[in-house]
Amino acid sequence: MKNLIYKNPKIILGALIIGVIFPFLSASAAAFNTGSADPATFQTYNFTNSGTCTSCWSSSVSANPSDVITFRIYYHNSSNETAVNTRVRVNLTSDTLTSRTLSAEVFANNSASAMGSVTINLSSAQSLTFRTGSVKWYPDRGTVNMTTRPLISGQNGSEIVSSAGLSIGDIAPGYEHDGYVTLALNVGGSNQQNGSAPIVNTNMAYSITQNSATLSGSVNPNSANATAWFEYGTTQSLGTMVGNQSIGSANSSQNITAYLSNLSQNTTYYFRTVAQNSFGTTYGAIMSFVTTYQQQQQQFGNAPIVNTNMAYSITQNSATLSGSVNPNNSNTNVWFEYGPTQYLGYTAGYQTLGMNNYLSNATAYLNNLSPNTAYYFRIAAQNAYGTNYGSMLSFNTISGTGYSGGGYYQQQNAAPSVNTLQATYVYQNSALINGSVNPSGSLTTAWFEWGRDSNLGSKSESRAVGSGYDALNFNSILSGLSAGTNYYYRAAAQNSLGTSYGNTVAIKTQSYDYTPAPEQRIITRTVAVKTGVSLDVSLDNEEVNAGDDIIISATFKNDNSSAINDLVLKIALPAEVKYLSASPRVSNRENGILTFNLGKIGAKTQGIVTVKVNVNSDAKQNSILIFGGTLEYYDKNNNFQSIESYATARVIQGEENGFGASLLDALKGIFTSPWLYIVLLLIAVGVTAWYFGKRSVMKSSL
């Protein structure tokens, strides 16, 4: 056998091609639902008989005329490659039968189909028709979170029974990205719906203790048998269901409650009301509450006790927020946070309450709001012993239709308009990325999504950008990046009328062996000025060693003849440093962002915030540390404004970026690239040609 292989060039060449080309071809193939823990691809149950049921899914179902049958299609990318343009499809025909098999499939541009089937037994010969509006998508561990996501690309759901299928986009590998798509079919009859999904409101949480709370909501079943429940968790992804209950088929609002236990003290929990009938599922707004904490009455003192109360005096574009605070015998500052989404982003009503030991009321007046829009808010308070946040509540401004000048008017607001801009600075380990957003007349928050490939996956801190009609530039610092690596990012923004995304832009960080000349060292310092207000971020040392301390100074100044209100300073720290201390006290420290609620600053007045950080011992030599400052405030016309300032430092002595580090990064890039297989193929073909050419020459010489 050895001689046969050795003497037969076709076998050798074939083996080389199989060994080199086959891995290349297979590397780009995705696969669905091959994991040992995967449930069946296609399952069903009778919704008319069972209502909302998480344990009723089966491979077969029995039904009568006029019943509604629910189906779910499971997908899990069980390969190591992203599944491109993934689609799900149900092969629905117009047959009239008493027993039939219905199939579904999951497939992508670079994968084979994962098939599943269910058996439907009918009491008489009937057809099955797609139920308009019944398609729901539960991505990214949807079985746990039970949270839906809007269908992509403007689809309405009916695509799921078409030949092309319903697109759910690119699906990354792993169980954290698996999910379900559900739909419903009518047994017999037409697709006409003679009813509506429930009407749902999430109300407040009450009787809150260290480890328990009671949730409340209201549901109108809309004249169809309905079930209702609550979803809650420590993030806005929620994750846990509680209080499942039947609420009948009335056409009036009914109050429901659910008791939670085994909660963690001093923790924020998010929750919402959900209800479902045969015409659909409705989700209430996400609210929040904070569990109480064990009082420490020794010599140390306590953080404030806070309660978010109602919003009142609500008009088309204004409202007054209210809350109460007990300073707990320590001088306490109070403010409100609000916004068009649960990310909030805006601050109002900064005030000082003193140091008493009883509940005091606090209020904040909001204007420049959009008509007929939901807003979320909470109270916050801080003293020397900590910061506490009240429950998150919401209110709706009234309709924007009114009478003016002899005719009716309607304020025309829209989802924000977003553009991704080129990065301003790109270094070995950091970059300053840019975007622009037009809020389109509604309070808007903006952020960046970024990652090592076009799937992105990481998200920057959300920031407020106001409610104007002009395009505003905003930016974010990326730090802790790898040298010589491609990164992708896009700008995104959201207001109460929708979410918008800019194009995806690519950058490549500098290689390890790049050392900037002193005059090219970047933005050593910028001073930003806007509407008479300035911000200057500076460092006490712009060339540092690993392990050094750095003092950051953020000087803000109001040169106007009138005061500015609700001043908030945010300082972004690079990943290569750790926070040590600040003066004044930090209001919030999260995800590398230090927030200082500074309140009102008078005319012709300036102030300074200082922060001390330490450069990590493993910071790499020639790394560039970018420190960003953002100042947010309301001008004399009560319009939201923000300005940015930056300062940088270079690590001149740190962890070496020598040949070993460069080689390691290069190898990582090579072995994750399909070009490796092409190079190996060319080498194999060249070696084979040389070898057989040499043998031919040797034979001819004999």
pLDDT in the model for residue 668 = 44
Relative to beta strand 498-501, strand 486-495 is antiparallel
Helix (H) or strand (E) holding 340: none
d(CA 299, CA 326): 18
Identify the pLDDT of residue 385.
83
Q: How far apart are CA 345 and CA 687, in angstroms?
A: 63
pLDDT at position 518, please? 52
690: pLDDT strictly greater than 80: no
- pLDDT score for 409: 36
Looking at residue 685, its pLDDT comes to: 67
DSSP character at residue 619: P
Find residue 156's DSSP bridge partners: none
Whether residue 39 is preceded by a cis peptide bond, meaning omega within 30 degrees of 0, is no
Return d(Cα 67, Cα 45) in angstroms, integer: 11
**How far apart, in whole angstroms, are the C-alpha atoms of residue 473 and residue 493?**
12
- Around Cβ 9, how many Cβ atoms within 10 Å? 14
Number of domains in the chain: 6
Range with the lowest mean pLDDT among 218-227, 272-281, 407-416, 640-649?
407-416
CATH number at residue 253: 2.60.40.10
Q: Is residue 223 part of a domain?
A: yes
Instruction: Kindly state whether residues 330 and 277 are assigned to the same domain.
Output: no
Tokens of 608: 């300074």
* 475, 597: one domain: no
CA pair distance 323, 267, nearest whole angstrom = 19
Yes or no: say if 486 and 440 are a contact pair by the CB < 8 Å rule.
no
Whether residue 382 is found in the same domain as residue 496: no
Say how far apart CA 341 and CA 366 lie, in whole Å: 16
pLDDT for residue 661 = 45
What pLDDT, on the 0 to 100 scale, is given for residue 696? 57
CATH number of the structural domain spanning residue 524: 2.60.40.680
Residue that has been written with the tokens 């071809």 in this structure: 25
Among 355, 375, 404, the domain boundary falls at 404
Residue-number span of the structural domain to which 384 is assigned:
305-404
Integer Cα distance of 455 and 453 in angstroms: 5
Reported confidence tier of residue 232, pLDDT bands at 50, 70, 90: very high
- Running DSSP on this structure, what letter comes out for residue 11? H
- Per-residue model confidence as pLDDT tens digits over 469-483: 888 889 899 988 888
Query: What is the number of residues in the chain?
Result: 702
Is residue 525 scored above 80 in pLDDT? no
In this prediction, residue 20 has a pLDDT band, given cuts at 50, 70 and 90, of very low
Task: Tell me which residue of 626, 613, 623, 616 sits closest to 547, measured CA to CA.
Answer: 616
Instruction: Indicate if 62 and 180 belong to the same structural domain.
Output: yes
* Structural domain contains residue 6: yes
The predicted-structure confidence for 288-332, as pLDDT tens digits, reads as follows 888 876 544 444 568 888 888 888 888 888 899 998 899 988 889
Spatial contact of 100 and 74, defined as CB atoms under 8 Å apart: no
Contact 516, 541 (CB under 8 A): no
Whole-number pLDDT of residue 26:
43
Q: Nearest Cα to 83, choosing from 31, 121, 130, 36? A: 31
Q: Are strands 128-130 and 213-220 parallel, antiparallel or unpaired?
A: unpaired
- Which pLDDT band, with edges at 50, 70 and 90, does 103 fall under? very high
Q: Is residue 666 part of a domain?
A: no
Could you say which of 404, 422, 445 is where a domain stops?
404
Output the CA–CA distances (angstroms, integers) from residue 535 to 65, 473, 553, 574, 643, in the order listed.
70, 16, 10, 19, 7
Residues 530 and 616 in one domain: yes
Asked whether residue 331 is domain-assigned, the answer is yes
Residue 586: the pLDDT is 86
595 and 519 inside one domain: yes
Q: Please report which confidence band the pLDDT of residue 41 belongs to, taking 50, 70 and 90 as the band edges.
A: very high
334-to-10, 306, 319, 355, 592 alpha-carbon distances in Å: 81, 9, 18, 12, 23
Asked whether the beta carbons of 282 and 196 are under 8 A apart, the reply is: no
Say what the pLDDT of residue 585 is: 84
126 contacts 100 by C-beta, under 8 angstroms: no
- Residue 34 within a domain: no
Residue 432: both structure tokens together: 């300053």
**Which whole number is the average pLDDT over 67-72?**
91
pLDDT in tens, 238-281: 888 899 899 988 888 888 999 999 998 878 888 889 988 878 88
Separation CA 635–CA 564 (nearest Å) = 5
Residue 399 has which token pair? 């309709």
More confident residue, 322 or 206: 322
Q: Are residues 523 and 615 in the same domain?
A: yes
Residue 193 in any domain: the answer is no
Residues 327 and 396 in one domain: yes
Per-residue pLDDT, 405: 36
What is the SS3 assignment for 387? strand
The pLDDT mean for the chain works out to 81
Q: How far apart are CA 603 and CA 607, in angstroms?
A: 12
Name 14's Cβ contacts closer than 8 Å, sequence gap at least 6. none
Question: Final residue of a domain: which of 153, 187, 221?
Answer: 187
Tens digits of per-residue pLDDT, 583-637? 888 888 877 889 998 888 888 888 899 999 999 988 888 888 999 999 998 888 7
Q: Are 447 and 344 contained in the same domain? A: no
Secondary structure of 79-131 in HEC code, one letter for each residue: CCCCEEEEEEEECCCCCCEEEEEEEEEEEECCEEEEEEEEEEEEEEEECEEEC
Instruction: State residue 612's pLDDT score.
Output: 93
Q: Closest by alpha carbon to 624, among 615, 614, 633, 632?
A: 615
Q: What is the DSSP string of 436-481?
A: EEE-TTS-EEEEEEEESSTT--EEPPPEEEES-SS-EEEEEEE-SP
Most confident among 52-61, 152-161, 394-403 (mean pLDDT): 52-61
pLDDT at 569: 92
The verdict on residue 300 lying in a domain is no
Across the strands, what pairs with 88?
106, 166
Evaluate whether residue 357 is within a structural domain: yes
Q: Say if residue 574 is preceded by a cis peptide, omega within 30 of 0.
A: no
Same domain? 210 vs 315: no
Q: Are residues 612 and 576 in the same domain?
A: yes
Strands 166-171 and 240-248, sheet pairing: unpaired
The contacts of residue 455 (CB under 8 Å, 6+ apart) are 82, 170, 172
| pLDDT band (50, 70, 90) for residue 6 | very low
**H-state helical runs in 227-312:** none
Question: Tell me: the pLDDT tens digits for 170-205?
Answer: 898 888 889 999 998 988 854 445 567 888 888 878
Residues 47 and 175 in one domain: yes
